[in-house]
Structure 1
């Protein structure tokens, strides 16, 4: 009996083990099938999509700041360079026979008045000659007085019959000859005094002494040329070399600003003469700008000039928008397709307010404000509009 119970229990355990093994086996098969299906799906997906790569996203166009400058009334100017000269340079030399220089009374840079003595030539011989001629004048006058007195006495006696009319005529002729000798002596004396006066070298007009080419003890004469050079009124001028097309834009009376090289100070002047001739070799002419006296203006110096030639309607751009290369000045314009296009321009006056553009743009374009040096024609950009610069 006991053996049967044990055998029943063993048989129950055996049945239980068999069912559990079968269940685990079925789960493994199901899991294996699911894994195989998943692997198959993945493999099929990879086979189907493996040859196609997704297209990379297009890079965003760089953003640039642009302005629409418009146009406004600006001062039209012509810029040039040239040399400074005295407007009216007066060479002063020996006008008479000359001689040894006794004294020199001025130095270069001195301001002199009209008729002021610049130098004196030794004149002792001429002075003695003048004294002799002065004595001759006195002698001639005495003779003339004596002749007049004799004539007067003769006229008193002619009525009494003591003197004939012929004697009166002779005495009258003697009186007239004496008077003529007085005139001759006075003329000779005046000539000698003028000769002495020419031995004093004087300034013909008020002005600035520019050069001095004489020293005391030097023997000078008419062949020595200019001993002094004087700028009349101290006025200077700039002789500006201008291209033919620029000459046509200016007029006599236009204002100008002259800046000597090495100086930051500008001097106001006026165009007073425009050359009627264009030099064929250079296609240039000369505009002469007059300047008031100032110690800082030195003849022979080099200077730049900006001549105001009226007003014009033109766009104005900040300096950052204008680029330059070996060809010309240019700007970048953003077109309707947001691509940059190079536009060559002609630059006018440059000031703190900006750069005047004389030609190349109308003013209604979108101009790259900055970063133009990092762009190339055809680059696509994202324009960001900025306000036009104030004037």
Structure 2
């Protein structure tokens, strides 16, 4: 049976309406997106400072002659190992030997005068007892005797000084150590006290660093420092800061920091270049996140924070440090909050997510 054309069109429209109603009734809400997150765990900010320095001796002696003169020889050069009492250099001793000879002659003359004054005093003392001399004459003889004794003491002291000066023409090592510098060559006229040889003790070694102003303010006496040989990080020792220069170097503007080393390895010889590293906790609370958590939009650093309803929200944060491995946030996050670490540039405010905590 053939239906009228009007009735057929009405039936088709009814079918389409019923089909549309069925699709709207069966449409399901969008599923939450799986998202990786990290839980914010605040911690103290680790302050790290690193710099290069050199191994030096704690005790360095600038050795020089106690008298001046022309230097005849120098027995050691830089790098030489010396022992206490070893001869280092020698001055011309001709003039000092002549002084000793003159002082010895003065002593002989003074002793002869003393013998004469002593005999004269004894004679006047005997004559005074017999009444053949006056007290004034005996007093004069006694005064001459006392002067002669004083003259002997003075000339003997001058002789000792002359002999000491003669011995000072031989420069001897005051202690065991290594020659790290020389200040005069044979044939040169040196003054008393001028540095001829610098000796560094090999036992008490320390690391000396030039530290910038920003870092030296955090340095404290007794602070532990990890010191390693440059290029050989496996050769390391822990030292403690024993001295911080109160004034900056006029040329570099840095402060000298000396680190005492406990039993340094043999590879850390005098003059070796070392690297010092200090790591300490500061007072600021921070949170460390992966770099992938940072949202690349807006003028301020932002991250996605997952709320209790599992919906994401933008949150501005303040960064303290940023590198290829991590970002350090000082403000904007609270302990226990979840921060999205993957796919941050494909999310929008209010998106529903299924957070999966990263395993570190």
Pairwise same-fold verdict (TM > 0.5): yes
In structure 2, what is the Cα distance between the partners aligned to 1:339 and 1:311?
30
- Is the 1:339–1:378 Cα contact (8 Å) retained in structure 2? no
TM-score (norm. length: structure 1): 0.62
Quote the residue 1:195 is aligned against. 165
Structure 2 counterpart of 1:345, from 302, 313, 319: 319
In structure 2, what is the Cα distance between the partners aligned to 1:311 and 1:159?
95
Secondary structure of the residue aligned to 1:210 is strand
Secondary structure of the residue aligned to 2:232 is coil
Correspondence 1:256 to 2:256: no
- Is the 1:70–1:364 Cα contact (8 Å) retained in structure 2? yes
Structure 1 counterpart of 2:278, from 306, 310, 316: 306
- Is the 2:72–2:187 Cα contact (8 Å) retained in structure 1? yes
Structure 1 counterpart of 2:39, from 68, 73, 83: 68
In structure 1, what is the Cα distance between the partners aligned to 2:354 and 2:274?
48
Distance verdict in 2 for CA 1:281–1:144, change over 3 Å: closer
Secondary structure of the residue aligned to 1:152 is helix
TM-score (norm. length: structure 2): 0.67
Quote the residue 2:188 is aligned against. 219
Correspondence 1:180 to 2:150: yes
In structure 2, what is the Cα distance between the partners aligned to 1:112 and 1:188?
32
How big is the shift at 1:248?
Answer: 4.0
Quote the residue 2:336 is aligned against. 364
In structure 1, what is the Cα distance between the partners aligned to 2:82 and 2:302?
53
Secondary structure of the residue aligned to 1:359 is strand
- Is the 1:92–1:227 Cα contact (8 Å) retained in structure 2? yes
In structure 2, what is the Cα distance between the partners aligned to 1:186 and 1:331?
90
- Is the 1:106–1:118 Cα contact (8 Å) retained in structure 2? no
Runs of at least 5 residues in structure 1 that lack an aligned partner in the other structure? 1-29, 349-353
How big is the shift at 1:385?
Answer: 0.9
How big is the shift at 1:192?
Answer: 1.8
Distance verdict in 2 for CA 1:343–1:281, change over 3 Å: farther
Structure 2 counterpart of 1:151, from 101, 121, 128: 121
Correspondence 1:91 to 2:59: no
How big is the shift at 1:356?
Answer: 9.7
How big is the shift at 1:105?
Answer: 4.4
- Is the 1:332–1:343 Cα contact (8 Å) retained in structure 2? yes
In structure 2, what is the Cα distance between the partners aligned to 1:204 and 1:70?
59
- Is the 2:82–2:179 Cα contact (8 Å) retained in structure 1? yes
- Is the 1:108–1:210 Cα contact (8 Å) retained in structure 2? yes
Secondary structure of the residue aligned to 1:149 is helix
Structure 1 counterpart of 2:104, from 117, 121, 134: 134
In the alignment of these two chains, the number of paired residues is 330
- Is the 2:106–2:155 Cα contact (8 Å) retained in structure 1? yes
Instruction: Please show how residues 233-252 of structure 1 align to structure 2 within 5 Å.
Output: 234-244=204-214, 246-252=215-221
In structure 1, what is the Cα distance between the partners aligned to 2:113 and 2:256?
66
In structure 1, what is the Cα distance between the partners aligned to 2:320 and 2:117?
92
- Is the 1:157–1:163 Cα contact (8 Å) retained in structure 2? yes
Q: Give the aligned CA root-mean-square deviation in angstroms.
A: 5.0
Q: Which has the larger radius of gyration?
A: 1
In structure 2, what is the Cα distance between the partners aligned to 1:223 and 1:376?
77
**Could you say which structure has the higher helix fraction?**
1
Distance verdict in 2 for CA 1:65–1:138, change over 3 Å: farther
Runs of 4+ deviating beyond 6 Å: 57-62, 278-282, 318-323, 339-342
In structure 1, what is the Cα distance between the partners aligned to 2:306 and 2:189?
78
In structure 1, what is the Cα distance between the partners aligned to 2:146 and 2:120?
12
Distance verdict in 2 for CA 1:67–1:307, change over 3 Å: closer
Quote the residue 1:289 is aligned against. 258
In structure 1, what is the Cα distance between the partners aligned to 2:306 and 2:249?
44
How big is the shift at 1:159?
Answer: 0.8
Correspondence 1:384 to 2:353: no
How big is the shift at 1:86?
Answer: 5.0
In structure 1, what is the Cα distance between the partners aligned to 2:94 and 2:237?
49
Secondary structure of the residue aligned to 1:96 is coil
Secondary structure of the residue aligned to 1:126 is helix
- Is the 1:63–1:383 Cα contact (8 Å) retained in structure 2? yes
- Is the 2:306–2:340 Cα contact (8 Å) retained in structure 1? no
